Amino acid sequence: MAAVFFFRTAAFSLDVRFWWKQIGMTMALGLAIGSGRSVAESRFQPRVMIVSTFEIGADSGDKPGEFQFWVEREGLTNSVRVPGMDHVVRYRDDGLFGCVSGTTVRCAEQLLLLGVDPRFDLTHTYWLINGIAGVNPEYASVGSAAWARWVVDGDLAHEIDVRESPSDWPYGILPLGGREPNKAVDPPPWAPKLMAWELNPGLVQWAYQLSKGISLPDSPGASKHRQSFTSWPMARLPAQIIVGDCLASGRYWHGLHQNQWASDWVRIHTHGEGRMVMSDMEDHGLMSALHRLAGIDRTDARRVLVLRTGSNFTVPRPGQSAAESLHEEYAGMRPALEAAYLAGSVVAHALLSDWPRYRDELPAAPSP
């Protein structure tokens, strides 16, 4: 049985690339027949694709989610529907596109559908994952923006209730294949790879250098909320733009103990290089989808940026329980949405304005 399983697994692995291309060709034929046009005539070539995870109500004119400022302020008035995606893809003629992937790790499914739609040529597209997150008060305050060097998967783990774990364990979550928390181990052969995605460091630094001087907006509510976090000096500072990494998990976790787990998790899965600054529910799904699309030559994983902004802290304020804090209104919601657009749009505009260069040459910050 083991030999048969190995053979079938190897054969499946070798055939993945072939079958994805067959799927793309089949979709292309169907779309071409249905539209009466050739695939080449139907092709979109996004230069920058903004990936938001949710919108509230309409795309313009009401309470904003992550997508609305991009639609309103960038004039994304054209739209195309991708079969299987919940939301239309919006764009303008100079190559700025935007999509709504949906929330949680299930967002990967919708991004894959976009990625294999044969009407889209994504081989030179820059992807900007752009949205709000929980922010670790050890490193930044609400309203702050962080360009990620690492995205870490917080879902794949062994877990037991902390009440049943050994007394010296800080929490009941440990790496797959591990015997105790907070220790890096090689994952078992059956476990999915990767646990951490490293983004193109030159591109990340270029984006940070372009945007770091932007003055970020504030609100009375966000300012007041910051000052209540007396145990964390960085949490009380005005919003700023930094480089900081993302932990992504389908579980919406919260609290001091979980924050310690998340910080440890990022550290061990990045070999000590990463620091957990932002927490969200989508980025591991989005990164996995983009890397799989890169594996079948549909896109370029070196052209991916992740910008997350803090709408709320990942821990309660002093004197408040985690349960009380969990469903508290996001004090930094509006500043975080503004920061995501302001910092992200500077980078998008730079890519578009010098497209003849950046189509083939990846931006990179100059060496120090």
pLDDT of residue 337: 98
Using one digit for the tens of pLDDT, what is the confidence trace for 291-325? 999 999 999 999 999 999 999 999 999 999 999 99
Mean pLDDT for 330-349 is 98
| Position 365 confidence tier, pLDDT thresholds 50, 70, 90 | confident
pLDDT of residue 169: 96
Length in residues, the chain: 368
**With respect to CATH, is domain 43-156+192-358 assigned 3.40.50.1580?**
yes
pLDDT of residue 306: 99
pLDDT of residue 368: 55
Give the integer Cα–Cα distance in Å for 275 and 232.
16
- In DSSP terms, 80 is beta-bridged to 89
Using one digit for the tens of pLDDT, what is the confidence trace for 76-107? 999 999 999 999 999 999 999 999 999 999 99
Model-wide pTM > 0.75: yes
pLDDT of residue 109: 98
pLDDT of residue 4: 37
Give the integer Cα–Cα distance in Å for 273 and 120.
35
* Alpha-helix runs per DSSP H in 1-90: 2-35, 68-74
What does DSSP assign to residue 160?
-
Residue 8 pLDDT greater than 80, yes or no: no
The answer to whether 130 and 340 are in contact (CB under 8 A) is: yes
pLDDT of residue 231: 96
Q: What percent of the chain has pLDDT over 90?
A: 85
Of residues 213 and 40, the one with the higher pLDDT is 213
The answer to whether 239 and 230 are in contact (CB under 8 A) is: no
N- to C-terminal Cα distance for the chain?
56
Give the integer Cα–Cα distance in Å for 285 and 306.
13
